Amino acid sequence: MGMGYKTNFLNKNPCHVNDYIICAHLIESMSLIDTANHFETTTQQILYIIKRLEKRLNANIFKIENNKKRTPLRIEIIQDKYIDHICEIAKEMDLLERGIFSKEEWEKIYGEKEELIGEVIISSTQTIWECFLVNTVTNFIEKFPLLTPSFYQIDLFINDKQKFNEIFICPLSDDTDIYEYIPFYSFSQKLWASKKYIEKNPPINNVEDLAGQTILFMKNVQSESNFYGPVITQSKLPHIVEKIKIMNVSGPRLLDVLATNGVGIIVCSEETVKLSNLPLVNVLPNFVGEKIDMFVKVNKSFLSYKKCTAAIDFIMKGRDEALNQLLDRNKGINK
């Protein structure tokens, strides 16, 4: 690359952007010794810089082989997708040092590129993932190849240890001083059962007919309470009609499987049933529970990060595509 930065450059510019220039030279030479000599430093210092840059990018980019004396001998690139990025940043840093870029211009370019690197965590329930997000995950990863997304399933709306770079889709809580709650969607809960269940049990024409019926509820095995939203909950149904058979289930997938196989009635939204393609029938269509208002919960300090914006856009795009799919499906049924 012909960037003749020596020790004085490293001393004058200790910030992490120099790691790009050094690693770009390493990519070109594929020699730790040549790179160390070029910058008048040691191979151990180059190894330290490699590790520092890899930590920043949250990726293992280089593979270093040692000889019997534990001296670095051979270098190999194991993540090609980062190479162009490293070299591009290095060239822009070179232009800055030559005075072709102003510091303000370079920081704008560099900042925009760096903002879309590193880890971002997206957490929500299995139902939200399956119905609204999973179909757009591949596009999100391909659009931002240097992001390292982590996808978590949290099914009971409890996330006491939400990380700074984590986005959580959940109901509103009382921590609005720390977190921003961006509206996602409002779900109305209804009662659903399989044809198998309906055929083998007494008909349900009104609320009173729920007496003796089995209703399956999502329940945390570590808690005495039901956390599946402020809806037709286990605590409210007994006030509507007595003698309902309550069956607690831990895990939304198990809940769906049991309902599909005729074990009992479940409480969920129409969107969930249709987008999950569950073979269930609406029991008591006029019987509707309270709405669950879902939000995208994000740390207010994280909102300014471009990778946060990219992740939120991905979430909203998944929601919109799923709802449009449902709308098109309903139009087809009504034709």
pLDDT digit string, tens, across residues 310-324: 999 999 999 999 999
Residue of 277, 229, 263, 243 whose CA lies nearest to 124: 229
Quick: pLDDT tens for 167-187. Answer: 999 998 888 999 999 999 998
Establish whether domains 118-183+296-334 and 186-292 are of one fold.
yes
Distance CA 131, CA 125 (A): 10
The reported pLDDT for the residue numbered 28 is 80
Share of the chain above pLDDT 70, in %: 73
In eight-state DSSP terms, residue 180 is E
Rounded mean pLDDT, 211-232: 59
Res 282 pLDDT > 90: yes
Ranges 17-21, 30-34, 175-179, 219-223, most confident:
175-179
List, in sequence order, every residue forming a beta bridge with 264; answer none if it has no partner.
none
Query: Looking at the domain that runs over 7-115, which CATH code has it been given?
Result: 1.10.10.10
Delimit the domains of the chain by residue range: 7-115, 118-183+296-334, 186-292
The reported pLDDT for the residue numbered 70 is 58
Residue 148: band (very low, low, confident or very high) from pLDDT cuts 50, 70, 90 = confident
Quick: pLDDT tens for 238-263. Answer: 556 567 888 888 888 899 999 999 99
Ranges 5-9, 78-82, 139-143, 290-294, most confident:
139-143
The reported pLDDT for the residue numbered 224 is 41
Quick: pLDDT tens for 41-56. Answer: 888 888 888 887 777 7
Return all residues near 122 (Cβ < 8 A) that are at least 6 apart.
133, 149, 150, 151, 152, 166, 167, 169, 311, 314, 315
Residue 7: band (very low, low, confident or very high) from pLDDT cuts 50, 70, 90 = very low
The reported pLDDT for the residue numbered 226 is 39
- Phi then psi for residue 3, to 5 deg, are -90, 100
Side chain identity at residue 70, one-letter code: R
The reported pLDDT for the residue numbered 42 is 83
The reported pLDDT for the residue numbered 92 is 62
Q: Which fold has domain 186-292?
A: D-Maltodextrin-Binding Protein; domain 2 (3.40.190)
In eight-state DSSP terms, residue 82 is G
Side chain identity at residue 114, one-letter code: E
Q: Which fold has domain 118-183+296-334?
A: D-Maltodextrin-Binding Protein; domain 2 (3.40.190)
Residue of 119, 115, 167, 164 whose CA lies nearest to 298: 167
The reported pLDDT for the residue numbered 249 is 85
- Phi then psi for residue 64, to 5 deg, are -110, 125
Give buried/exposed letters for 223-250 (b at 16+ CB in 10 A, else e).
Answer: eeebebbebbbbeebeeeeeebeebebe
Contact at 8 Å (CB) between 155 and 124? no
Quick: pLDDT tens for 106-131. Answer: 556 555 555 677 789 999 988 899 99
Return all residues near 89 (Cβ < 8 A) that are at least 6 apart.
17, 20, 24, 110, 113
